[in-house]
Structure 1
Amino acid sequence: MKVCVLYSGGKDSTYALHWAVFKGFEVISLLTLLPKREDSWMFQYPNVEFTKYQAEALGMNIIQMPTSGEKNKELEDLYAAFKKCKDLGAQGIVTGALLSDYQRLNANIIAEKLSLKTYSPLWRKDQEKYMYELIDEGFEFIITSTSAYGFPYELLGKVIKREDIDLIIRRAREFGFNPAFEGGEAETYVIYAPLFKRRLKVFGEIKRLGEDNWRFLIKRIL
């Protein structure tokens, strides 16, 4: 089956992409929506424009389309994006949804209108086990944004190792945030994964946006 993968460049959409490839799907394109607002309900905002570097490292086609980021209008943008995938020959859409009913249901509803099948291989996956699984399977990613009280901000911009996952899970249990960041507690950017043909080198700077809100701003990628 030919599919497009809804791709933000983070750990979840990258994992979903790998799942699709190893399950035998033909990935005809990655699909990135570029929100104009930071408070988008559907799409990741920090650093998503840099998915083009990941697509190059993967040797895959990518579609990047702007979206208003407004709660209802962005669904119209998603419809247009899915339609473009269908026009390219896609029969299905793969998403990295973990726990967000809003994101998963809206993607499913819009895809169904276009007679596209949807696949969300991470749905309801054990959050803590999943974080270790990423490391064990060779995924390398950096934390690009944090907004949860108690999150270890010193990990911002760092390539996450297994011991860092230990720390994140301890803090998540103590302070009550989601250890896999499904509630927006943090955002990630993948620099290497099993399908990547090369490891990306990312350069940026850390900026504090609020008391518990920090951002790693990507400036350059090699």
Structure 2
Amino acid sequence: MKLGILFSGGKDSYLALQYASGENEISCLLTLESKKEDSWMFHTPAIEWTKLQAEALGLNHLTKETSGIKEEELGDLKSIIESAVSKHSIEGIVTGALASVYQSTRIQKICNELNLWCFNPLWQMPQNVLLQELISNNIESIITGVAAEPFDASWLGRPIDSNCIDNLLTLESSHRINPAGEGGEIESFVINAPLFTKSISVTKSQKYYSNFSGRLEIQEAFLQ
């Protein structure tokens, strides 16, 4: 089946892509670039650098700017999916949704309207299992956003490796965070993975942080 991937550049959308690619043809990536950092539907940190990931993956990449206004952004999502159907003849959409009923039901509704299959390969996966899947599958990602106590600026740009995962699981117990960031506590950006033909090197970045909330702005990056 020919599929399009709703792709934010983060660990979840990449892992969903890798799972879906096993028995399906991945035709394209679909990325929504929100004008609002606190979009209800879409990941925003480092979203402009998904172009490098698409190149590393060797996949067609459709992008569309969206207002980020709750519910209105769904019209932009439907529009980009319609473009993927028209340009690449996709038969289904893959998402990295893990537990968000708000996101998954709205994407499913659009897919139903367009007569497309909606595939959520990570749905209800335990968050500790998802994090371990990153290590098992040699998926290298960095933290590009934080939005919860007790995260400080030192977390921005940090690789999500075994030590980082141990720390996240400890915070799950002590501060009741979602260790995989399902509640928006952390955002990520994949810099290397099995389906990449080249890795991404981030050579210049800037941290913006205040009151347990921050983001890493990637200013320069290239494939190597």
- TM-score scaled by structure 1? 0.96
| 1:16-27 → structure 2 map (5 Å cutoff) | 16-22=16-22, 24-27=23-26
Q: Does the CA contact (< 8 Å) of 1:33 and 1:67 recur in 2?
A: yes
AA aligned to 1:35 is S
CA deviations over 1:112-137 (Å, ceiling 9, x no partner): 10001100000000111210121121
| Structure 2 counterpart of 1:2 | 2
Q: How many residues align?
A: 221
Matched, 1:63 2:62: yes
SS of the aligned residue for 1:201 comes to strand
| Structure 2 counterpart of 1:201 | 201
| Structure 2 counterpart of 1:169 | 169
SS of the aligned residue for 1:150 comes to coil
The alignment yields a C-alpha RMSD, in angstroms, of 1.1
| Structure 2 counterpart of 1:11 | 11
- How much does 1:152 deviate? 5.8
AA aligned to 2:199 is R
| Structure 2 counterpart of 1:221 | 221
Q: Does the CA contact (< 8 Å) of 2:128 and 2:169 recur in 1?
A: yes
AA aligned to 1:129 is V
Q: Does the CA contact (< 8 Å) of 2:153 and 2:209 recur in 1?
A: no
| Structure 1 counterpart of 2:151 | 151
Counterparts of 1:63 and 1:105, CA distance in 2: 22
CA deviations over 1:144-184 (Å, ceiling 9, x no partner): 01011023642321222111100111012210110010111
Q: Higher mean Cα deviation, 205-214 or 121-130?
A: 205-214
- How much does 1:19 deviate? 0.7
| Structure 1 counterpart of 2:73 | 74
**Structure 1 portions without partners, runs of 5+:** none
Q: Higher mean Cα deviation, 52-61 or 204-213?
A: 204-213
| Structure 2 counterpart of 1:140 | 140
| Structure 2 counterpart of 1:110 | 110
Q: Does the CA contact (< 8 Å) of 2:93 and 2:117 recur in 1?
A: yes
| 1:35-74 → structure 2 map (5 Å cutoff) | 35-74=34-73
Q: Does the CA contact (< 8 Å) of 1:35 and 1:68 recur in 2?
A: yes
Counterparts of 1:215 and 1:36, CA distance in 2: 15
Counterparts of 1:207 and 1:217, CA distance in 2: 6
Q: Does the CA contact (< 8 Å) of 1:146 and 1:213 recur in 2?
A: yes
| Structure 2 counterpart of 1:187 | 187
Percent of paired sites with the same residue: 42
Counterparts of 1:78 and 1:59, CA distance in 2: 23
Counterparts of 1:130 and 1:118, CA distance in 2: 20
Q: Does the CA contact (< 8 Å) of 2:146 and 2:155 recur in 1?
A: no
**Structure 2 portions without partners, runs of 5+:** none
SS of the aligned residue for 2:163 comes to helix
- TM-score scaled by structure 2? 0.95
AA aligned to 1:17 is L
AA aligned to 1:46 is P
SS of the aligned residue for 2:102 comes to helix
Counterparts of 1:119 and 1:155, CA distance in 2: 31
Counterparts of 1:109 and 1:136, CA distance in 2: 33
